[in-house]
Structure 1
């Protein structure tokens, strides 16, 4: 699922992006707030987190503009707790409204509920390759009738390789992907994690599933 953040507070925007990426969402965050509708169309998100107080226009207007051409779910995320603002947000086409501050788990629950309600989160996030199924929701990999649980870091490493199956992913690219998703591994730690993953894969009967291309990186 791809989530778009429209929030002009940089610190809060980065915090939101980190939370969502650590929960295995794909994230785009706007840093320009002109021609917002065109930017939304260009990235085609599955859900939008929208602030009310934006430079030069209100979130109400942005939502109304979105609704003229798209039914993408919109959750207002704002510090404005007035009931009349919430009513206006919903009347303008918003799907949900949550006020700051909030526990991270509450926002994630709202996102999950909206995605399910709008029919965009019904399918389980499962990536497949060579008969193996990487279940992002349950944090495990399955092969035939067996499965192995993965740590958060192992899951994200495999998710990157699955999403780039058929091509070499350099170690640098993999480390940068992990950093973007709030996993801070150095080169040595990456090697250790890949070794552990290989051990779990071999236990399932998946020998040589991750191939090392010497001097280049990994490939599945």
Structure 2
């Protein structure tokens, strides 16, 4: 069952859309705090977002860009603003489709089905899993979020890349050179201190979800992620 997040501050329309989607078997969630939509998005982890443009605090274009920093989840704009420029801006800011109010619910369902089929179904260009899991520790790939025992925390992109590499090689040593190469890009200067700082931060993030003392430092070699959480669950 696909979960759809409805980001609409008009409560009446929000409930009408929600009711209609649930009739078609979709799970839905809505925003409670319009001042931090990104946080609400991460908490709910939807498969698709319906986004209004005129919202409190910041407009939908802003929140679309903000969500795009943590996820590639499809976003369909729904707005009374029907100009060509608004539709262009929606796409340029990371949107996948655009529906102008007022709209028919049949059109809405067709648009949703088309996007889901393209992103998750038979027309999907990607076969990569959305979630990587080892013994109950989940990494939400397109969100930079990790989860364990129903506790979630958001990582920076560097922290996420480090953990992904360590988790793929769980209980094995990953060399400092390999980890430094993962952190390197054309913009940031990376050295041993950068690696050490990010490892320290990653340890703290793991502790926040209840996994302590999992990353071992192997002097002169690198780091090892020890699966002590799997033993706890087992």
TM-score (norm 2): 0.51
Alignment of 1:57-72 (within 5 A): 57-72=58-73
Q: Name the SS for the 1:81 alignment partner.
A: coil
Contact 2:61 2:90 in 1 (8 A): yes
In 2, distance between residues paired with 1:23 and 1:119? 17
The Cα offsets for residues 103-140 of structure 1, whole Å up to 9 and x where unpaired, read as 110000000001111125879xxxxxxxxxxxxxxxxx
The number of residues matched between the two structures is 123
Q: Name the SS for the 2:102 alignment partner.
A: coil
Structure 1: state its 5+ residue gaps: 124-220
Contact 2:52 2:60 in 1 (8 A): yes
Q: Which residue of 2 aligns with 1:48?
A: 49
- The Cα shift of 1:32 comes to 2.1
Q: Name the SS for the 2:49 alignment partner.
A: strand
Matched, 1:96 2:92: no
In 1, distance between residues paired with 2:51 and 2:92? 15
Contact 2:3 2:27 in 1 (8 A): yes
Contact 2:33 2:40 in 1 (8 A): no
The Cα offsets for residues 39-76 of structure 1, whole Å up to 9 and x where unpaired, read as 10111100000000000101000000111110000000
After superposition, the Cα gap between the structure-2 partners of 1:116 and 1:41, relative to the gap in structure 1 and judged at 3 Å, is same
Contact 1:115 1:122 in 2 (8 A): no
Q: Which residue of 2 aligns with 1:79?
A: 80
Alignment of 1:181-220 (within 5 A): none
Q: Name the SS for the 1:65 alignment partner.
A: helix
- The Cα shift of 1:31 comes to 2.8
The Cα offsets for residues 174-205 of structure 1, whole Å up to 9 and x where unpaired, read as xxxxxxxxxxxxxxxxxxxxxxxxxxxxxxxx
Q: Which residue of 1 aligns with 2:29?
A: 28
Alignment of 1:114-193 (within 5 A): 114-119=115-120
Contact 2:3 2:28 in 1 (8 A): yes
Shift >4 Å, 4+ stretches:
120-123
Q: Name the SS for the 2:6 alignment partner.
A: strand
Contact 1:3 1:27 in 2 (8 A): yes
TM-score (norm 1): 0.54
In 1, distance between residues paired with 2:122 and 2:5? 15
In 1, distance between residues paired with 2:97 and 2:83? 14
